[in-house]
Amino acid sequence: MKKLDDPVSVLPGVGPKKVVALNKLNINTIEDLLNAFPFRYEDFAARKLAEVNDQEKVALKGTVASEPVVSRFGRNKNRLNFRFLIEHEVIMVTFFNQAYLAKQIETGKEMAIYGKWDAKKQRLMGIKILAAAAEDELGGVYRSSKEIKQSQVKKLVAEAFQAYHELLVDLIPLALRKKYRLMSRVEMVRNIHFPDNATTAKLARRTGIFEEFFLFQVKVQYLKKHNRVADGIKLDYDLSKLKVLIAQLPFTLTAAQKRVVNEICADLHHDYHMNRLLQGDVGSGKTIVAAIALYAAVTAGFQAALMVPTEILAQQHAEKFAHLFKDLDVNLALLTSATLGRASQRKELLKNLANGQVDLVVGTHALIQDDVNFKKLGLVVTDEQHRFGVSQRQILRQKGHAPDVLMMTATPIPRTLALTTYGEMDVSTIDELPAGRKAIETIWLKNKQQEQAYAFIEKQLDNGAQVYIVSPLIAESEMMDLKNAEEVYLKAKKRLEPQYHVGLLHGKMKGEEKEQVMRAFKAQQLHVLVATTVIEVGVDVPNATVMMILDADRFGLAQLHQLRGRVGRGTQQSYCLLLADPKNEYGSARMKVMTQTNDGFVIAQKDLELRGQGDVLGSKQAGVPDFKLGDPVANLNVLQVAQKEAAQIVKDPMFTTGNQSELYRYVRRSLVTGMSFD
């Protein structure tokens, strides 16, 4: 009995070597082969010579006007030449290293040849002789390798389709296919691989893109619904105590902060497991929202934990929380590798966590060590969640019985990626800055204008400002980064001291050294801080109003935006100076984007567009699916429609009770075979 998950070895002529070659292309089964769609098409429709542009790939139809001549050159290289009559013009056709084609070429024979047109030399650089040149024929171009040619892949696809096409079932419901004028699955697969014309190919790919996004979103929405009904913890927080905390804040929450606090508190109060992402731009006030959520868990009689990526950030949050909760009944602790290094202090802290005397703990990855135990952990908040691996976040969750989870990120995620990476999570977005914050003025200067930049810095220092100078980034070497930072530091000292004190901060310093430097900078004992990207996340010095980033084109847009967010934390006008001589248009485009907007969501989307899906959807964005046809950036509107329709279908009670549903069986099969989200 034939099945779509039959191994490719069932096809005639597919022996062990071909199986290995196909496996390397991630083609293991017949279904994989049918889904190995061409990534582009070659247009084999014959064109008129007068319409063809120089260096364009084209199919030309004509008559062989001379005998083929094969000449040899170099080492094992050959050239095949013959004249070709197209209507009333004679051109030269040249094939390199395909001398065997001479047998197919006869004077007076009509042929169609596909190649690249060289208008200057009136020559067609041949690629292939076409068997037939139908006016509307397209040829798919497939992924291939040294071990297997794309023509072989295409032949196997044709054989697989011929033998198995009747097993292709429709997973998109008929009502949706009619609503959006989509092909059946059989039609879609046939017309992507073997289209009659460009219009048919385009319509087939449109169906394929929708199907791909729709099936992914159905799985995501099903998982989201499943998580909602899974056993969680109901946190009966004390609303009156929360109101006291909010009333004593020295500022009024923004409308966006109030909205997300309500969203989070509603989740806490339900008995389903909260799995929520809180995203907000740099300086939008995520920390106070997290503090309110953490305090809510404490008032409900549970312990709460905040995990952050660095000791500096943990220290900063602990100090903020200590001040925020000083008049409230909250027993707060700080847990970092430095804390764990002090034996007596460590033993006491671990005991108090285990017996429940500590209500709220702020820490680094030290929180997930084996001997750290909680008595009643109700809420886990992870700040800058992308800096922790999936397994690290999972370990912290397992410290309690299904605690609610809130992940925070100051790296704005475009709608495009939020729909894919975090589709199974509820997403809360703080999309406004606190009142009184002024937009950071960003200026792009060439490296030769560094003198002007220093003059501007001196003027700002004279007015009482503090300044960050970020040294160039050498991604391949931390030691080179350090060397750069030290050179910049010495230059700044020579230029600005003794009138102004200059400090240095880099990743190779010990935790205590970093904290000492940051304390001195916050206390205004240092006026200028030269640093590597160690300052990218979380450090908060309201009096720092100027940042100069050297060789700014070496940094990505998201990183530049994060760095810039270290200034503009107070009410004073702040500035970011980008010194850069970009080597290409991509570098120049990044600098222009930075000078045009302070909106992190706009920057994130621009970053995605400039870098393309391939760079963004890699290891740094773990969890994003590798779509075969769809591009979440270019096809965002299709992705949004697919998500909306998937959510509606999964909400329908008949979706899970209809055991005959091919779509439901597909989802269950997918989840069983390992699709999971974290």
∠ Cα 9 14 143 (to 5°): 100
pLDDT tens, residue by residue, 124-179: 999 988 875 444 477 888 988 888 988 899 999 999 999 999 999 999 999 999 99
The structure tokens listed for 286 are 């995520």
* Contact present, 373 and 354 (Cβ < 8 Å): yes
pLDDT band at 413 (very low <50, low <70, confident <90, very high): low
Pairing between strand 89-96 and 77-86? antiparallel
* Per-residue pLDDT, 163: 94
Contact 594, 578 (CB under 8 A): yes
Q: Which of 132, 58, 136, 42 is nearest to 91 (CA)?
A: 58
Please give the full DSSP string across 551-617, using - where no structure is assigned. TGGGS-HHHHHHHHTTS--SSS--EEEEE---SSHHHHHHHHHHHH---HHHHHHHHHHHHHHHHHT
Separation of alpha carbons 312 and 515, rounded Å: 6
User: For strand 123-130 and strand 303-307, is the pairing parallel, antiparallel, or unpaired?
Assistant: unpaired
Q: Nearest 10 degrees: CA dihedral of 315, 301, 251, 322?
A: -30
Strands, E assignment, 386-501: 404-409, 426-430, 441-445, 466-470
- Provide mean pLDDT across the span 292-320: 90
Number of Cβ atoms within 10 Å of the Cβ of 630: 24
Asked whether residue 391 carries a pLDDT value surpassing 60, the answer given is no
| Mean pLDDT comparison of 234-238, 398-402, 569-573, highest-scoring range | 234-238
* Per-residue three-class SS string for 200-258: HHHHHHHHHHHHHHHHHHHHHHHHHHHHHHCECCCCCCCHHHHHHHHHCCCCCCCHHHH
CB atoms within 10 A of CB 3: 11
For residue 290, give the nearest of 276, 300, 302 by alpha carbon: 276
**Amino acid 183: pLDDT:** 96
Range with the largest mean pLDDT of 134-148, 178-192, 530-544, 557-571:
178-192
Q: Does residue 225 carry a pLDDT above 90?
A: no
Structure tokens at 558: 């998201």
Looking at residue 427, what is its pLDDT? 83
Q: Does the pLDDT of residue 390 top 50, yes or no?
A: no
How many angstroms separate the Cα of 153 from the Cα of each of 5, 15, 138, 395, 420?
18, 14, 16, 44, 30
Element (H, E) at 288: helix 286-299
- In whole angstroms, how far apart are CA 414 and each of 281, 329, 647? 12, 39, 20
CA atoms within 13 A on the CB side of 154: 15
Task: Judge contact between 531 and 471, C-beta under 8 A.
Answer: yes
Query: 3-state DSSP call for residue 519?
Result: helix
- 335-368 pLDDT, tens digit each: 887 765 567 788 888 899 999 999 999 998 888 7
Distance in angstroms (rounded) separating the CA atoms of residues 211 and 290: 38
Q: Give the span between the Cα atoms of 358 and 330, in whole angstroms.
A: 8
Helix intervals (H) in 366-433: 390-397, 415-421
Q: How far apart are CA 66 and CA 540, in angstroms?
A: 78
The whole-angstrom separation of Cα 58 and Cα 56 is: 6
Q: Quick check: pTM over 0.75?
A: no
Reading the block at residue 620, the tokens are 């740094």
Tokens of 19: 């199986």
CB 211 within 8 A of CB 638: no
- Spacing of C-alpha 51 from chain mean position: 41
The per-residue pLDDT for 124 is 96
**Which residues lie below 8 Å from residue 646, measured CB to CB, with a gap of 6+?**
214, 217, 218, 220, 221
pLDDT tier at 309 (50, 70, 90 boundaries)?
A: confident
What φ, ψ does residue 644 adopt, rounded to 5°?
-60, -45
From the list 361, 316, 367, the residue with the least C-alpha distance to 337 is 367
How much of the chain, in percent, has pLDDT values that exceed 90? 49
Q: Per the structure block, which two tokens stand in for 614?
A: 């391939």
Instruction: Please provide the distance, in angstroms rounded to a whole number, between the alpha carbons at the two ends of the chain.
Output: 37
Least confident of 53-67, 187-201, 415-429, 540-554: 415-429
- At 549, is the secondary structure helix, strand, or coil? strand
pLDDT(561) > 50: yes
The pLDDT assigned to 478 comes to: 58
The helix (H) or strand (E) run that includes residue 459 is helix 450-462
Distance, CA of 366 to CA of 17 (rounded, Å): 49
DSSP state of 300: T
The Cα–Cα gap between 672 and 677 comes to: 13
pLDDT at residue 101 above 70?
A: yes
Structure tokens at 56: 């364009």
Per-residue pLDDT, averaged over 388-397, amounts to 54
Indicate whether 616 pLDDT > 50.
Answer: no
Whether residue 613 has pLDDT greater than 60: no
Question: Above 70 in pLDDT, residue 416?
Answer: no
Are the CB atoms for 298 and 304 separated by under 8 Å? Answer: yes
Tens digit of pLDDT for each residue in 434-449? 777 788 999 999 999 9
Furthest-apart CA pair in the chain: how many Å?
A: 99
Helix (H, G, I), strand (E, B) or coil at 508: coil
Whole-number pLDDT of residue 479: 61
Interaxial angle between packed helices 585-596 and 557-564, expressed in degrees from 0 to 180 and rounded to the nearest 10: 30
Q: Which of 122-136, 308-322, 538-552 has the lowest mean pLDDT?
A: 122-136
* CA 245/CA 354 separation, integer angstroms: 27
- For residue 186, pLDDT over 60 is answered with yes
Query: In which band, very low, low, confident or very high, does the pLDDT at 674 lie, cut at 50, 70 and 90?
Result: very low
Determine the average pLDDT of the residues in 454-478.
85
Specify the pLDDT at position 599: 84
Region 184-201 average pLDDT: 93
The predicted-structure confidence for 252-290, as pLDDT tens digits, reads as follows: 999 999 999 999 999 999 888 888 889 888 778 899 999
- What token pair was written down for 386? 């992308």
Q: Determine the pLDDT at residue 231.
A: 66
Number of H helices, E strands in the chain: 23, 21
Q: Are 382 and 396 in contact (CB under 8 A)?
A: yes
pLDDT at 219 over 70: yes
Name the average pLDDT for the chain.
Answer: 85
Report, as an integer, the average pLDDT of 546-555. 92
Residue 578 contacts residue 549 (beta carbons within 8 Å): yes
pLDDT for residue 672 is more than 60: no
CA distances from 61 to 79, 86, 387 (A): 21, 7, 58
